[in-house]
Amino acid sequence: MSGIVGSYFNTRGSGVVAKLGTDGQVFTSTGAGLSQGFEAAAGGGAWNLLTTLTASTSGDLSFVDGASDVDLTTYNHYVFACNSIHGSVSAAGLTFQGSIDGGSNYNTNILSSVFTNYVSGTATDHSLTTRSNHQDGTGFQMITEQNGIEDSSCWSGELHIYNPGSAVFRKFFTSEFTGQITSEYQFFMRCSGRMETTSAVDAVQFKMESGNIDSGTISLYGISS
């Protein structure tokens, strides 16, 4: 083989390789008839996994800034990806709340609307119905419909929170979840709203309306712009 990959010179077929790049650069073509080079990676958003919490008969799953790799200040956009959330009690949905004091209290004012449309096993209903409207309350915000107690029932989806570290703006959020309540009903649920506080939100907690989160995971991602 004439030419060693990674060496200063590689004359096999395509000419001289440029000097080695710096950390974070990628090896790329610089054009026809020119030697290859190292350039900055193309721009665009990236999902940066920060941490994953796994439920096991857990009363709550809490993400507190500065603890267990949780970072709620670096990014302007965060996603909590929830996978196969199953509660211990039927007729109880998954809820969340934010904190402005490091998780000592979860009681930010929330203004939101929750909409649900669903598909059943025997008929289809595409109507968009207001299921819950959190009128400027300080309780936990529902983001899924009620939980099915069957072992196979669960909810999966995402909660997006925008700019939680801001000390100027209110904190807007959206969510989308799909799940099964019974063997007949498959639900899709959407929520949008805001935390009325202009203080930085430095912790987010998830819990069921009643009972425990029996199983499932929630992964926190920071989205690079």
At 189-217, the pLDDT tens digits run 899 999 999 999 999 999 999 999 999 99
Mean pLDDT on 125-142: 71
Residues 55 and 23 in one domain: no
Residues 116 and 154 in one domain: yes
What is the count of structural domains for the chain? Answer: 2
pTM of the entire predicted model:
0.78
Q: What is the three-state SS of the chain?
A: CCCCCCCCCCCCCCCCCCCCCCCCEEEECCCCCCCCEEEECCCCCEEEEEEEEEEEEECCEEEECCCCCCCCCCCCEEEEEEEEEEECCCCCCEEEEEECCCCCCCCCCEEEEEEEEEEECCCEEEEEEEEECCCCECCCEECCCCCCCCCCCCEEEEEEEECCCCCCCCEEEEEEEEEECCCCEEEEEEEEEEECCCCCCCEEEEEECCCCEEEEEEEEEEEEC
Residues 7 and 74 in one domain: no
Residues 132 and 153 in one domain: yes
Range of the domain at 129: 46-224
pLDDT band at residue 225, thresholds of 50, 70 and 90? confident
